Structure 1
Amino acid sequence: MTDSGDVRTQVVAAAKAMDAAGLVVGTAGNVSGREADGTIWLTPSALPYGQMGIENLAAVDLDGNLLEDTARPSTEKAMHLACYRAFPEVGGVVHCHPIHASMFAVAHKSIPAVIEEVIVYLGGDVRVTDYRPTGTDELGEEVVRHLGDRSAVLMANHGMLCIGESPDHALHAALVAEHTARIVWGASRLGDPVDLPERALSDFTGAYTYLRRETWAAP
């Protein structure tokens, strides 16, 4: 869990880095972070990332109630809040629309865990949810269903959501997932991607489980 004085700064930094990395277009996507006291800071709706500062963020509680005199939060806050309610160890959430990962989401195909780092950092293959409308509680529930042992999930016909111990950590998960999607897409042009050996899958899954349990500090 990120120290309270750093959460807003990390949310803005992750949002700007997400935009710079090409994981979103325009004002799409959103980022959030949780303070130790439970306050959640979310990026606002319809504000270009280049203009965003900590003063533009919205503060909400776990029920979605607006705290303080802050901005209107993203319309997709429900899935952020669902992640924080379900997983006390999570301190950051990133939702984005990267090109290659989104192609998998539109095709309703998981990004396979054919590279070791995918298992270490994401927990395994990046699975696809059933379709649920954007901004609904149902989408939040569907996303959470796939994140108990993963750091990334694809939303059918939509994009991707990633979790982490901080906003920066969640952004790293998104970058790993998109990098892998691009490699798998390219490899599929050469032939069928080859799975890792079962022993490697088991060993690296254990590493992810340990890191999430022991190093993601719950409040």
Structure 2
Amino acid sequence: MIADELLALAHAVGEPRRELVILAEGNVSARLDDERMLVKATGSSMVAATRDDLVECRFAPILELLDDPRAFEGGEGDARVAEALLASRVDQAAKRPSVEALLHAVVLTSGAAAACHTHPVSANGILCSDRAPLLTAGALFPDQIVVLGTRTLLVPYVDPGLGLGRLMRHELRVFADRHGALPKLVWLQNHGMFAIGADPAECLRITEMADKVARILAGALAAGAPTFLPDSVVDRIDGREDEDVRRAALAAR
């Protein structure tokens, strides 16, 4: 059942030793159908999340707010966001969805089936610096390409809420138009990252690999400067038959 898969993802990324989230940071989601999603409630701990912490929401009220040119950030605008999130709940007695449910609605209606948002110590050490663009500058090692694809996306900082939801939607559309598919990973400057997958299990693999990428990049920067793989090598690895077999094997676990 998708709720169990989503909780397994939340518990995995919430493990303190991983340093991906602490306290009530982060959220997970999964698309139920074209009209609904499950998303973690605000204030809930990932590692301790239960079924009561997953809120079933309809996309329509959230997308209508994003599309409303009269809606704005701050003050009464923030109140409208809160109202839309509460109205989106299928069960009006359910907990309040996280404000980042806006991002999850955008991702899940853009073609993804699941998403995982975390604030890794490793990634934020770079995302909170002037070296953040290096996270999307190229691939450092082969397994990065196998799990994350050939390109990831960096989104400039915007406060979580309406503005970030709109910016994320725009950036995902531009990326998909340019590359023919959504990114597996979105880095959010001064904030964290979003894993975008076909299911919660893929979101965990993406999150784990992104954490490794950030750690290796930090190590390369400490040693001197990162050496990215040439584009020809990246394209060859991405298209190799044996790497497709590895992807399939990972997905089957």
How does the TM-score come out when normalised to structure 2?
0.73
Which residue does the alignment assign to 1:3? none
Matches within 5 A, 1:4-153: 6-20=1-15, 21-36=18-33, 38-63=35-60, 64=62, 65-68=88-91, 69-87=93-111, 90-107=112-129, 108-111=132-135, 112-136=138-162, 137-142=165-170, 144-145=172-173, 146=175, 148-153=181-186
Q: Which amino acid aligns with 1:152?
A: L
Which residue does the alignment assign to 2:81? none
Work out the CA distance in 1 between the residues paired with 2:214 and 2:47: 27
Q: Which amino acid aligns with 1:162?
A: A
Which stretch has the larger CA shift, 18-27 or 121-130? Answer: 121-130
Compute the RMSD of aligned alpha carbons.
2.5
Work out the CA distance in 2 between the residues paired with 1:117 and 1:83: 24
The 1:201–1:22 alpha-carbon spacing in structure 2 relative to 1, beyond 3 Å, is same
8 Å CA contact 1:110–1:126 kept in 2: the answer is: no
The superposition leaves residues 135-174 of structure 1 with CA deviations (integer Å, 9 ceiling, x where unpaired) of: 2232432552456442111111111111001122112101
How does the TM-score come out when normalised to structure 1?
0.83
8 Å CA contact 1:143–1:155 kept in 2: the answer is: no
Which stretch has the larger CA shift, 174-183 or 123-132? Answer: 123-132
Tell me how far 1:189 sits from its aligned partner. Answer: 1.8
Which residue does the alignment assign to 2:199? 166
Q: Which amino acid aligns with 2:30?
A: G
Secondary structure in structure 1 of the residue aligned to 2:133: coil
Question: Where has structure 1 moved over 4 Å in runs of 4 or more?
Answer: none
The 1:198–1:56 alpha-carbon spacing in structure 2 relative to 1, beyond 3 Å, is closer
Aligned length: 205
Work out the CA distance in 2 between the residues paired with 1:205 and 1:103: 28
| Structure 2 gaps, min length 5 | 63-87, 249-253
Tell me how far 1:37 sits from its aligned partner. Answer: 5.9
Tell me how far 1:99 sits from its aligned partner. Answer: 1.0
Larger Rg belongs to: 2
8 Å CA contact 2:184–2:196 kept in 1: the answer is: yes
Work out the CA distance in 2 between the residues paired with 1:168 and 1:149: 17
2:213 is equivalent to residue 180 of structure 1: yes
Work out the CA distance in 1 between the residues paired with 2:160 and 2:3: 25
8 Å CA contact 2:10–2:47 kept in 1: the answer is: no
Tell me how far 1:54 sits from its aligned partner. Answer: 1.3
Tell me how far 1:200 sits from its aligned partner. Answer: 1.8
The structure that is helix-richer by fraction is 2
Work out the CA distance in 2 between the residues paired with 1:79 and 1:120: 25
8 Å CA contact 2:120–2:192 kept in 1: the answer is: yes
Secondary structure in structure 2 of the residue aligned to 1:93: strand
